[in-house]
């Protein structure tokens, strides 16, 4: 059989590359690398890991979210040349933190590291980290950033203040003093990870913070400094939403046991919809009255109300798609289908709202309480039904 056609290298090649047999022994260290559009960096990283780790028993697991640039294919090609390279390919999902969690869960090694796939993290400190954690007196080694080109020199005051504030919050939350709790480069014992697993939020970027904050006992931490390199290929996926995702993580850690953070996000977006509604209603009504005069005001109010409802529902839909469901955002044709189902769900919710509020008002005559009860029931209805019909989990 000509196995080269499938990209497989022969056992002779493996034997030559692997005289000690380290490839075939179970890994002591699993390096989890979340990737999105890193096809040009992935081969460089594997090469760098080979050079840095020598005959340590390691493996690397790329967790790719179906990158359009074919990163998963690239990683699979490398896996066919070297059994230490593995791939977890996720479909219709996004999220750095959840990718790391699933990668760690796909391995058996007693030590796991998380590392970016863009060559910004210095792989040569991995051996130091491993040596440190092997001693057995700590749970976690954090690669702490020294930004290339000298500290945080090119960050403006506001950004430095924000970063310090975020770090302070993080340390309060984790009850451990990690110098760089936002680092994406760290190594921990499997036992420590398993302890945190049930409490993980898995939202956003801050997986280290999530793990440290979810640990039932404060983690014992060491830090190894490294210089953060600049990116050669591709671009950062951190966008304007990181702040929001960070807030979600903090909220989930604080209140997640009481109410799901997605619901909080959904309710906040709903609140913004009320503002949108009144704004659109006022503007449309003013225009209609200016054009057609005030003779038939009730009719123009009804038109304004209908337009405002449609605009507010649409605004809620798009905001939820970006903020509440950032990990399973609808795109293309599914976006419009989602918009339709969302409007239908909210339409039914509106009837429920009016029905319940009216029923309560007739019975008790408390205007505000009746209205709020109607809104509460509708919010829960809209949230649960849209999670089934609009943003249904496909995998």
Residues that bind ligand GDD (CB under 6 A): 34-36, 38, 63-65, 94-96, 99, 116-118, 120, 182, 184, 205, 236-238
By beta-carbon proximity to ligand GDD, the closer residue of 200 and 346 is: 200
User: Strands 111-114, 29-35: parallel, antiparallel or unpaired by DSSP?
Assistant: parallel
User: Strands 58-64, 85-89: parallel, antiparallel or unpaired by DSSP?
Assistant: parallel
Residue 94 interacting partner from Mn ion, ligand GDD, none (CB closer than 5 to 8 Å by kind): ligand GDD
CB of 116 to Mn ion, least distance (A): 5
CB of 237 to Mn ion, least distance (A): 8
By beta-carbon proximity to Mn ion, the closer residue of 84 and 121 is: 121
Nearest to 342 by CA among 319, 308, 372: 319
By beta-carbon proximity to Mn ion, the closer residue of 35 and 378 is: 35
Residue 95 interacting partner from Mn ion, ligand GDD, none (CB closer than 5 to 8 Å by kind): ligand GDD
Residue 58, SS3 per DSSP:
strand
By beta-carbon proximity to ligand GDD, the closer residue of 67 and 309 is: 67
By beta-carbon proximity to ligand GDD, the closer residue of 241 and 380 is: 241
By beta-carbon proximity to ligand GDD, the closer residue of 39 and 309 is: 39
Residue 31 interacting partner from ligand GDD, Mn ion, none (CB closer than 5 to 8 Å by kind): none
Residue 65 interacting partner from ligand GDD, Mn ion, none (CB closer than 5 to 8 Å by kind): ligand GDD
Residue 74 interacting partner from Mn ion, ligand GDD, none (CB closer than 5 to 8 Å by kind): none
CB of 118 to Mn ion, least distance (A): 4
By beta-carbon proximity to ligand GDD, the closer residue of 257 and 331 is: 331
CB of 242 to Mn ion, least distance (A): 12
Q: How far apart are CA 394 and CA 45, in angstroms?
A: 32
Is there binding between residue 313 and Mn ion (CB under 5 A)?
no
Is there binding between residue 370 and Mn ion (CB under 5 A)?
no
> DSSP letter at 191?
H
Q: How far apart are CA 180 and CA 208, in angstroms?
A: 10
CB of 39 to Mn ion, least distance (A): 15
* Size of the residue set binding Mn ion (CB under 5 A): 3
Exposure b/e, 265-298, CB count within 10 A at least 16 = b? bbbebbeebeebbeebbeebbeebbeeeeeeeee
CB of 45 to ligand GDD, least distance (A): 9
Angle at 370 between CA 365 and CA 375, to 5 degrees: 165
CB of 120 to ligand GDD, least distance (A): 5
| First-to-last C-alpha distance (Å) of the chain | 36
Q: How far apart are CA 88 and CA 106, in angstroms?
A: 8
Q: How far apart are CA 46 and CA 78, in angstroms?
A: 8
Q: Which long-range contacts (CB under 8 A, 24 or more apart) does 175-180 make?
A: 175/218, 176/212, 176/218, 176/219, 176/221, 177/221, 178/142, 178/208, 178/212, 178/221, 178/223, 179/142, 179/144, 179/223, 180/142, 180/143, 180/144, 180/145, 180/223
Residue 341 interacting partner from Mn ion, ligand GDD, none (CB closer than 5 to 8 Å by kind): none
CB of 184 to ligand GDD, least distance (A): 2
- CB-CB contact of 64 with 88 (8 Å): yes
- CB-CB contact of 86 with 59 (8 Å): yes
Is there binding between residue 120 and Mn ion (CB under 5 A)?
yes
Nearest to 335 by CA among 313, 316, 318: 318
CB of 233 to ligand GDD, least distance (A): 11
Residue 251 interacting partner from ligand GDD, Mn ion, none (CB closer than 5 to 8 Å by kind): none
Q: How far apart are CA 382 and CA 278, in angstroms?
A: 20
CB of 117 to Mn ion, least distance (A): 8
Is there binding between residue 245 and Mn ion (CB under 5 A)?
no
Q: Which residue has the tokens 């507010």?
A: 312
By beta-carbon proximity to ligand GDD, the closer residue of 58 and 246 is: 246
By beta-carbon proximity to Mn ion, the closer residue of 102 and 116 is: 116
By beta-carbon proximity to Mn ion, the closer residue of 120 and 189 is: 120
Residues 60-119 that bind Mn ion (CB under 5 A): 116, 118
Task: Using CB under 5 A, list all residues that contact Mn ion.
Answer: 116, 118, 120
């Amino acid at each position: 059989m000509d196995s080269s056609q499938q990209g497989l290298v022969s056992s002779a090649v493996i034997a030559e590359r692997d005289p000690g047999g380290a490839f075939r022994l179970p890994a002591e260290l699993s390096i989890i690398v979340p990737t999105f559009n890193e096809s040009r960096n992935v081969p460089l990283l594997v090469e760098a890991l080979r050079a840095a780790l020598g005959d340590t028993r390691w493996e690397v697991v790329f967790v790719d979210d179906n990158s359009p640039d074919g990163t998963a294919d690239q990683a699979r090609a490398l896996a066919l040349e070297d059994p230490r390279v593995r791939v977890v390919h996720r479909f219709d999902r996004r999220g750095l933190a959840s990718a790391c969690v699933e990668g760690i869960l796909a391995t058996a090694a007693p030590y796991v590291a998380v590392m970016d796939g863009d060559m910004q993290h210095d792989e040569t400190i991995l051996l130091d980290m491993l040596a440190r954690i092997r001693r057995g007196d700590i749970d976690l080694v954090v690669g702490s950033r020294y930004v290339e080109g000298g500290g945080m020199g090119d960050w403006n005051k506001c950004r430095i203040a924000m970063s310090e504030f975020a770090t302070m919050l993080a340390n309060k939350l984790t009850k451990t003093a990690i110098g760089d709790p936002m680092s994406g480069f760290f190594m921990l014992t499997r036992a420590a990870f398993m302890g945190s697993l049930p409490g993980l939020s898995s939202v956003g970027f801050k997986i280290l913070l999530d793990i440290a904050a979810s640990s039932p006992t404060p983690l014992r931490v060491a830090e190894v400094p490294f210089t953060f390199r600049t990116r050669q290929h591709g671009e950062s996926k951190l966008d304007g939403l990181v702040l929001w995702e960070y807030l979600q993580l903090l909220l989930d850690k604080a209140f997640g046991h009481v109410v799901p953070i997605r619901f909080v996000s959904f309710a906040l977006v709903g609140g913004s919809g009320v503002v949108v509604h009144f704004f659109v209603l006022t503007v449309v009504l003013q225009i209609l009255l200016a054009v057609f005069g005030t003779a038939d005001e009730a009719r123009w109010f009804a038109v304004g109300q209908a337009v405002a409802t449609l605009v507010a529902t649409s605004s809620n839909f798009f905001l939820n798609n970006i903020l509440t469901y950032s990990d399973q955002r609808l795109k293309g044709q599914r976006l419009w289908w989602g918009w339709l189902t969302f409007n239908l769900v909210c339409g039914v919710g509106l009837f429920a709202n009016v029905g319940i509020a009216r029923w309560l008002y007739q019975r008790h005559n408390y205007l505000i309480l009746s209205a709020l009860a109607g809104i509460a029931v509708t919010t829960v209805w809209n949230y649960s039904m849209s999670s089934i019909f609009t943003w249904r989990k496909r995998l």
